[in-house]
């Protein structure tokens, strides 16, 4: 078995993964959300092949990243393993580990839902579940995906701060750029 890269490096990687997952969520939900889609659908329809696949690509990336962050394998960079290692090695104070574990417990029921999508549709393609059936089986809602990113960031930041490392933050720039792109395309009128 190969040695793990240092804990602090894996922790910073987890921070990057969770902030990227949120970017994927923000762009995907900008395209698909009930509050935003009606305002942009006409422009998206002018470039339907791009936006159909861009929306899908952001959703797939979101699910793959969240699936990886919340899985419970010892050989990958994921939040449960980092919290367990912090507890076992004393890498973080006991109260920080307890807070991180409590946060993970809040979203523990969502992990299998994400894993259903990741494992049956995106990382692998099930031969026995249709696309629609996999979504019905997962039964996960967009606000739950957002919650996973929020909890993930809180867990990462608890551990980062306990190690004297800078906190990670969500950035709105990618969504703002997507909005600007759609506005520019609307102004152009599809020409």
pLDDT surpassing 90 at residue 188: no
Would 189 be classed as within a structural domain?
no
Would 29 be classed as within a structural domain?
yes
Would 174 be classed as within a structural domain?
no
Cα 25 to the chain's mean position, in Å? 7
Is the whole model's pTM more than 0.85, yes or no? yes
Would 151 be classed as within a structural domain?
yes
The DSSP annotation for 16-83 comes to HHHHHHHHHHHHHHHHH-TTTHHHHHHHHHHTHHHHHHHHHHHHHHHHHHHHHHH---TTS--HHHHH
Supply φ then ψ for residue 160, to 5 degrees: -60, -50
Would 180 be classed as within a structural domain?
no
pLDDT surpassing 80 at residue 190: no
Q: What is the pLDDT of residues 15-32, one digit of tens each?
A: 999 999 999 999 999 999
pLDDT value at position 124? 81
Q: What is the pLDDT of residues 65-122, one digit of tens each?
A: 999 999 999 999 999 999 999 999 999 999 999 999 999 999 999 999 999 999 988 8
The DSSP annotation for 108-121 comes to GGGHHHHHHHIIII
Structure tokens at 133: 């059936």
Cα 37 to the chain's mean position, in Å? 21
pLDDT surpassing 60 at residue 131: yes
Would 188 be classed as within a structural domain?
no
Contact partners, residue 149, CB within 8 Å, separation at least 6: 18, 21, 22, 25, 66, 170
Can you give the residue range of the structural domain that contains 142?
7-164
Would 182 be classed as within a structural domain?
no
How many domains does the chain contain in total? 1
pLDDT surpassing 80 at residue 133: yes
Would 191 be classed as within a structural domain?
no
């Amino acid at each position: 078995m190969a040695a793990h890269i240092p804990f602090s490096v894996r922790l910073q990687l987890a921070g990057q993964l969770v902030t990227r997952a949120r970017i994927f969520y923000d762009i995907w939900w900008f395209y698909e959300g009930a509050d935003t889609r009606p305002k942009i659908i006409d422009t998206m329809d002018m470039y339907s092949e791009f936006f159909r696949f861009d929306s899908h690509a952001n959703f797939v990336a979101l699910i793959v990243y969240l699936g990886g962050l919340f899985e419970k394998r010892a050989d990958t960079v994921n939040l449960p393993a980092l919290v367990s290692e912090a507890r076992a090695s004393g890498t973080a104070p006991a109260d920080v580990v307890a807070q991180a574990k409590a946060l993970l417990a809040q979203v523990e029921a969502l992990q299998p839902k994400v894993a259903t999508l990741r494992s049956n549709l995106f990382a692998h393609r099930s031969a026995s579940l249709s696309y629609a059936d996999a979504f019905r089986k997962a039964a996960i809602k967009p606000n739950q995906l957002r919650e996973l990113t929020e909890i993930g960031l809180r867990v990462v930041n608890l551990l980062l701060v306990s190690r004297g490392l800078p906190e990670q933050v969500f950035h709105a720039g990618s969504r703002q750029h997507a909005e600007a792109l759609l506005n520019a395309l609307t102004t152009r009128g599809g020409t």
